[in-house]
Amino acid sequence: MSVEARAFFLDAVREPLVERALDLGEPALGEVIVEVLACGLCHTDLGFADGSVPPKHPLPLVLGHEAVGKVVAAGPGDGIGAEAWLGKTVIVPAVLPCGACDLCATGRGNACTAQKMPGNDIHGGFATHMRVPAGPLVDVSDAPAGFDVRLLSVVADAVSTAWQAVIRSELRAGDVAFVIGVGGVGGFVAQIAHALGARVVAMDVSAARLEGMAEFGADLGILVGDAHPKEVRREAHGFARSQGIGSGRFRIFECSGTTAGQQLAWTMLSRAATMVQVGYTPKPVELRFSNLMAFDATVHGTWGCPPEAYGDVLRLIYAGQVALEPFCAFASMKDVNVLLADMAAHKLDKRMVMTP
């Protein structure tokens, strides 16, 4: 079955996306075609569009890596069983690992060197349909009755990335999670840490975001503003001590993707503490790496999430322990250029979920 989609192409950086036809052809061995129900808008999409982050696929390129949809066509089977996906509602993960390399075999598929990222390596979800490998898809056909599956588009990156960051930190009930930047991914890190039994300290430049997170798991909100990182550290660590939590149970998540946020996260390190770098900025940051030695601390990077881990975070969502709806808003995909401009101007206060 050959499919002709309508898609929004990035033809040139710093130019509006252009809608036109996209001939997807017939799915090849182990591939499927997904009819897109919704696709989230991520700050990485803005990075590709404004030229600050170069995509791997040459332009023109269809952006979008937070997609949920229905499988409408499948290529021949190859042991993966592409045909078995027909008719299923699926999340298309932002990281599509090959499933065959050493990294995939050891549970590190999110670091797979042959991975495909929609809207970066291959055409993405700013379209009516997309063509993707079948193996990494996540079946959500069993979502609870009445649940708007379009919201699950953000699980493809924002929520699953947050889950992977928390798991990488080895957070346990009774720990304290210091979350720097609680817009987007950081807000889901805070919710997940709370759901797993941690005390949560949210830090942000927005008082409104901090106020919102107080309803979704933040035990303390710290408005960082122009405060010196050491002042923030003193308040945050003081809260942990007041709860009887030692530094070996500190879990620090840098989610702002800013140089100031990264410097603050580094300042938050203490003896035997663990930090996870979640956000991204192309700008360099000057840090004293001897802190790792002096504190016997641990720092992890994290990228995406292996598809096999999605089930755990979906269970939290279905159980109401991680909320999506208050943090998302729906819009037509035809408004994508307006939404990108609003994102660049910091006018968006929710994750935009676009419908074709």
Q: Cβ(181)–Cβ(254) under 8 Å? A: yes
* CB contact set of 304 (below 8 Å; sequence gap of 6+): 93, 94, 95, 110, 117, 157, 160, 161, 164
Q: What is the pTM of this model?
A: 0.95
DSSP-derived pairing of the beta strands 220-223 and 250-254? unpaired
Q: Which contacts qualify for 256-260: CB closer than 8 Å, 24 or more apart?
A: 256/180, 256/181, 256/186, 256/204, 257/43, 257/181, 257/281, 258/181, 259/283, 259/284, 259/285, 260/224
* DSSP-assigned states of every residue in 52-111: SS--SSPSSEE----EEEEEEEE---SSS-GGGGTT-EEEE-S-B--SSSHHHHTT-GGG
What burial class does residue 217 get, using C-beta atoms within 10 Å of its C-beta: 0-12 exposed, 13-18 middle, 19+ buried? buried
Predicted local confidence at residue 139, as pLDDT:
97
**Collapsing DSSP states into helix, strand and coil, what is residue 273?**
coil
Predicted local confidence at residue 163, as pLDDT:
98
Predicted local confidence at residue 239, as pLDDT:
98
Predicted local confidence at residue 83, as pLDDT:
81
DSSP 118: B
Element spanning 159, H or E: helix 158-168
Q: Tokens standing for 154?
A: 């953000």
Beta bridge partners of 21: 6
Predicted local confidence at residue 277, as pLDDT:
97
Predicted local confidence at residue 69, as pLDDT:
98
DSSP 116: B
Phi and psi of 122, rounded to 5°?
A: -135, 165
Domains of the chain: 3-157+307-355 (3.90.180.10), 159-301 (3.40.50.720)
Taking only the tens of pLDDT, the chain with its 356 residues reads: 678 899 999 999 999 999 999 999 999 988 999 999 999 999 999 999 999 999 999 999 999 999 999 999 998 865 556 788 999 999 999 999 999 999 999 989 999 999 999 999 999 999 999 999 999 999 999 999 999 999 999 999 999 999 999 999 999 999 999 999 999 999 999 999 999 999 999 999 999 999 999 999 999 999 998 899 999 999 999 999 999 999 999 999 999 999 999 999 999 999 999 999 999 988 899 999 999 999 999 999 999 999 999 999 999 999 999 999 999 999 999 999 999 999 999 999 899 999 99
Distance CA 145, CA 229 (A): 46
> What count of other Cβ atoms lies within 10 Å of the Cβ of residue 16?
15
Predicted local confidence at residue 304, as pLDDT:
94
What burial class does residue 35 get, using C-beta atoms within 10 Å of its C-beta: 0-12 exposed, 13-18 middle, 19+ buried? middle
